[in-house]
Amino acid sequence: MKPLLIVKTGHTFEDLKTEAGDFEDWVITAMEIDPSRALIVDITRGKHLPQPSEISGAVITGSHDNVSESPSWMEDGLQWIREALNAELPVLGICFGHQMLAHAAGGRVGFNPRGMEIGTTAVRFNRHKKGDLLFGTFDDELILAVSHRQTVLRLPENAFHLAESDRDRNQVFRLGKVAWGVQFHPEMNCRLLRVYIENDRKILLREGQNPDLLKETCVDSRSGSKILKRFFDITQGVR
């Protein structure tokens, strides 16, 4: 049985990692799979990615880096994404992974002109959701976790735009039939979000946002976990 690849593009804060694990742990927990089913590759440390034919699918994690600043480790990952897309491998890019997926396919990434989006927000799907393998059976509006300053400013020409939120036009897109970028964080809960909100308190206040209100209005939702579990089913051939 081929493993699910988790492409690790960064690390959370050290204190939080000790308490709650790292990005890949959050994905595995929310997806509700045995950790032995996942292959973790940290590309920020020069680890080589497997051939698309060797894995069942891939999740690309979030990161504290910015795609627009082209961190030195990112180029190999971009080339691998292009190979995965050509091979029609199921791919799910989360936040930084979403932006990386868009960049690899010809989109443009930069700082969100609407400011930081963090906390929980309503993600609204459009008519292109109908028949979509990943999102087709979900409600047209979902409450999901978000935490980002950069965004996909321009989608790749061949992308299907699927969803938006108040602060982000390009919350979800699809490339081909089985590759998705999601700006939201399906793996995060309010406990994790509140740590990130507090860490970004100065930025939020500078933008005129209320970090205390954002923490108070966090809502734990099962939608993120259900999305991750549905993606795993797709990697296993469940259509």
Which residue of the set 98, 103, 187, 218 is catalytic? 187
218 is catalytic: no
Task: Look up 187 and say whether it is catalytic.
Answer: yes
The radius of gyration of the chain's CA atoms, rounded to the nearest angstrom, is 16
Contact by Cβ (8 Å): 192, 16: yes
Count of H helices and E strands in the chain?
8, 11
CA dist 88 to 55, 56, 57, 178, Å?
12, 11, 9, 7
CA proximity to 7, closest of 73, 87, 88, 103: 73
Catalytic residue among 98, 103, 148, 185: 185
Marked catalytic residue, from 24, 95, 103, 148: 95
185 belongs to the catalytic site: yes
* Catalytic center residues: 95, 185, 187
